[in-house]
Amino acid sequence: QVQLVESGGGLVQAGGSLRLSCVASGRTFSSLNMGWFRQAPGKEREFVAAIGRTGSQYSADSAKGRFTISRDNGKNTVYLQMNLLKPEDTAVYYCAVHNSRVFTTRYDRRSNYDYWGQGTQVTVSS
C-alpha cells in the first residue's frame, strides 16, 4: 500500500505559477515511478507529467514548456512546478504511483497507475 498526499493547489491569475507537492509513504519512494494527472469538471482525467525512478521525465503536450516535474527522494516527494498558467489548466490535480509495467511506454495511461492521492484543486482566473 502507498499513501499519497497532495498539496499546493489554490487560486491564481492567468500567467501565474504554482508548485504542487505530493508526499508518498508506505513504500521505498526511490523505487517508485510517479505521475501527475488532472481532471476538469465534466472531463476525463488526463495525463500531465511523469517521472521515473531514474529521473526520466515525460509530459503532455499541453504541459511542455510550462510545467516541470521533479522529485526529492530524501523527502519522499514529487513536485509539479506550473508556470504561465492558463484558465484551461483549472482542474483537480492528482499524483499517482505507476505499477511499473513498461513505464517508459505507458507512463501516460491512467490504467497503469495503482495508487492515487485525494487531489488538490487548481483554479486559474482570467
User: What tens digit of pLDDT does each residue of 15-60 get?
Assistant: 999 999 999 999 999 999 999 999 999 999 999 999 999 999 999 9
In this structure, what are the phi and psi dihedrals at residue 74, rounded to the nearest 5 degrees? Answer: -70, -20
pLDDT of residue 33: 97
pLDDT of residue 101: 73
Query: Are the CB atoms for 122 and 89 separated by under 8 Å?
Result: yes
**pLDDT bucket at 100, cuts 50 / 70 / 90:** confident
Mean pLDDT of 50-74: 97
